[in-house]
Structure 1
Amino acid sequence: MMWDWSFTVEILPMLAEAAVITIQATVLGFIMAAVLGLVVAVLRIAFPRSNLILSILVEFIRSTPLLIQIFFIFFVFPKFGLVLDGFTAGVLAIGLHYAAYCSEVYRAGFASVPRGQWEASIALNLPLKTTLLDIIIPQVIPPIVPMLGNYLVALFKETPLLSAIAVLELMQTAKIIGSQSFRYTEPITLVGLFFLVMSLASAALIHLVERRLNRRPAP
């Protein structure tokens, strides 16, 4: 089947609209993953007794497929009275799934901070909140930005799984266009190009953030 440029131009606005959904799911999911992952890592440090429970929870989430988690939140949660639309359920599943991975990245970052920094804070009788926010976390973030960036790109490429619960993101829209027109070459190719461009843009943004953070003077 030859490439049809007129058909490509015709479907481009529909795919561009679907790309907005994909970007929204990616951004919201990553913000949730980054924040929740940091919270879990801090809890494991501040409350050592919670370490075992949180470790089991993190390993459970990381060891089960994201698609199963999406189905569970979308189809099982309503049985307990929590009904979520497809987009919200998908973002929640993606955010929780990658929060487990991000928490391990943060944990490695905390472990890389010299022990003397913690001991000096204790000797100065600084509150734990001040120690974390003003001394430790500013040293943790810059080295782990590349790894967090990798998870951002990976999360972005996981958004087609949301089509399983009828979220009209890029891949689902392309499949609908293909089923209606019996032409899959153009929509699927365009989806691949969309993902390529947005993945490269995400990687460039991460490199920019990394350079900015590395230029800041150490605390």
Structure 2
Amino acid sequence: MLFGFEWDTTNGWTLAVSILPILMRGLWVTLQATVLGFAIAMVLGLVLAALKAAPSRLVSWPARGVSEFLRDTPLLIQLFFLYYVLPEFGIILPAFLTGAVALGLQYSAYLSEVYRAGIEAVPRGQHEAARALNLAPRRTFSRIVVPQAIPRIVPAMGNYLVSIMKDVPVLSVVTVLEMLNVAKIIGDRTFNYLVPLSMVGGLYLILTLVAAQGVRRLDRALPKTGIPLK
């Protein structure tokens, strides 16, 4: 029994039907962790990209150092640090939130490079026109550069969305009951790993295909000249 559900182990098909509601609970946790982690990564990635592009080395160099550290250290170490080390300093986060933050921090470094590529793809004439209109650098960045950079980087960001989704099972090491962890528990208790793990693999395949199709549609829908702002 898990989450208050019981399963039938008489054969593979009945086991699959009986554990499906339990896996749906784990699927919901997986989706929540993916969305929250990706949202954190998008925001922090943009901040890192802006800081790394700053003209002052006192700002850009520390930002590059943080980005390299996050990108070049394993996600599992960062997750363990947040979950086991931060409580020693009085910072205690729930396991789910810790996992989402770890995913967001790790992928913010990758997305910062994606943002950088998109920003550099904006024609220099746009910057010069904004300077000629006497727009403040912050307003130029937020209202002119970023809206034109976003459509150029949607496919790359979609790839990282799928990558985050596939990295969510790592959160099982800090007791997050995501989909793969639920399947492992079912396998431990029924001595049948084939059915739950096959179902999880199929669900992940469906999720990634849906996400990829959504990204392709978004890429086609966004105007390549930039997102219009009111």
Correspondence for 2:33 among 22, 25, 30:
25
Paired AA for residue 71 in structure 1: F
Structure 1 pair 107–85 and aligned structure 2 pair: CA distance change class (3 A): same
Correspondence for 1:123 among 129, 132, 155:
132
Aligned length: 218
2:211 equivalent to 1:212: no
8 Å CA contact retained: 2:27, 2:178: yes
- Give the alignment's TM-score, normalised by structure 2: 0.90
Distance between the aligned counterparts of 1:217 and 1:184, measured in 2? 49
Q: For residues 54-203 of structure 1, what are the structure 2 equivalents within 5 Å?
A: 54-203=63-212
Paired AA for residue 197 in structure 1: I
Structure 1 pair 130–12 and aligned structure 2 pair: CA distance change class (3 A): same
- Give the alignment's TM-score, normalised by structure 1: 0.95
Structure 1 pair 95–192 and aligned structure 2 pair: CA distance change class (3 A): same
What's the C-alpha RMSD, in Å, of the aligned pairs?
1.6
Q: Secondary structure at the match of 2:223?
A: helix
Which 4+ residue blocks in structure 1 deviate beyond 6 angstroms?
Answer: 215-219
Distance between the aligned counterparts of 1:27 and 1:3, measured in 2? 35
Distance between the aligned counterparts of 2:41 and 2:134, measured in 1? 32
2:55 equivalent to 1:34: no
8 Å CA contact retained: 1:18, 1:168: yes
Gaps of 5+ in 1: none
Gaps of 5+ in 2: 1-9
Paired AA for residue 173 in structure 2: A
Q: Which has the higher helix share?
A: 1
Superposed displacement of residue 163, structure 1: 0.4
Structure 1 pair 215–125 and aligned structure 2 pair: CA distance change class (3 A): closer
Q: Secondary structure at the match of 1:214?
A: coil
Superposed displacement of residue 44, structure 1: 2.5
